[in-house]
């Protein structure tokens, strides 16, 4: 599976939408808890608290709306994943293979 690459400009705070797939089909996110997981180029975690939302549970679409200072050029590139947890507290990460590579430009 090819790694998804997303390029943004430092200071970006507009929404970024993603589709979470499970074996090529949209992951149903009904009754799931969603969080964003991101690390900069040296492995320091990025706080994405309240920056991710589910757009369509049945279509598996999610939105990441970063704060202005979440992704800075000096920390680029970033590895980004989405974590879902179901009602029985089982968790899964999307993508499960290579992370989304977020590249920050000036």
Question: What ranges do the domains of the chain cover?
Answer: 5-105
Residue 96: CB atoms within 10 Å:
12
Element (H, E) at 39: strand 33-39
Q: Is the pLDDT of residue 1 over 80?
A: no
pLDDT in the model for residue 89: 93
Query: CA-to-CA distance for 20 and 26, rounded, in angstroms?
Result: 6
Class for the domain spanning 5-105:
mainly beta
Give tens-digit pLDDT for 58-92: 999 999 999 999 999 999 999 999 999 999 999 99
Give tens-digit pLDDT for 38-61: 999 999 999 999 999 999 999 999
Average pLDDT over residues 2-8: 94
Query: CA-to-CA distance for 40 and 3, rounded, in angstroms?
Result: 16
Query: CA-to-CA distance for 30 and 43, rounded, in angstroms?
Result: 31
- pTM of the model as a whole: 0.94
**Which DSSP state fits 75?**
G
Residue 21 zone, left/alpha/beta (φ > 0; ψ -120 to 50; rest) = beta
pLDDT in the model for residue 2: 80
Give tens-digit pLDDT for 12-44: 999 999 999 999 999 999 999 999 999 999 999
């Amino acid at each position: 599976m090819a790694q998804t690459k997303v390029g943004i400009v430092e200071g970006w705070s507009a929404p970024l939408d993603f589709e979470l797939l499970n074996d090529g089909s949209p992951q149903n996110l009904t009754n799931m808890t969603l969080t964003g997981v991101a690390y900069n180029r040296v492995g320091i975690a990025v706080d994405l608290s309240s920056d991710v939302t589910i757009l369509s549970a049945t279509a598996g679409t999610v939105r990441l709306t970063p704060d202005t200072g979440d992704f800075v050029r000096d920390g680029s590139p970033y590895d980004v994943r989405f974590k879902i947890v179901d009602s029985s507290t089982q968790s899964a990460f999307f993508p499960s293979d290579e992370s989304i590579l977020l590249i920050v430009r000036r």
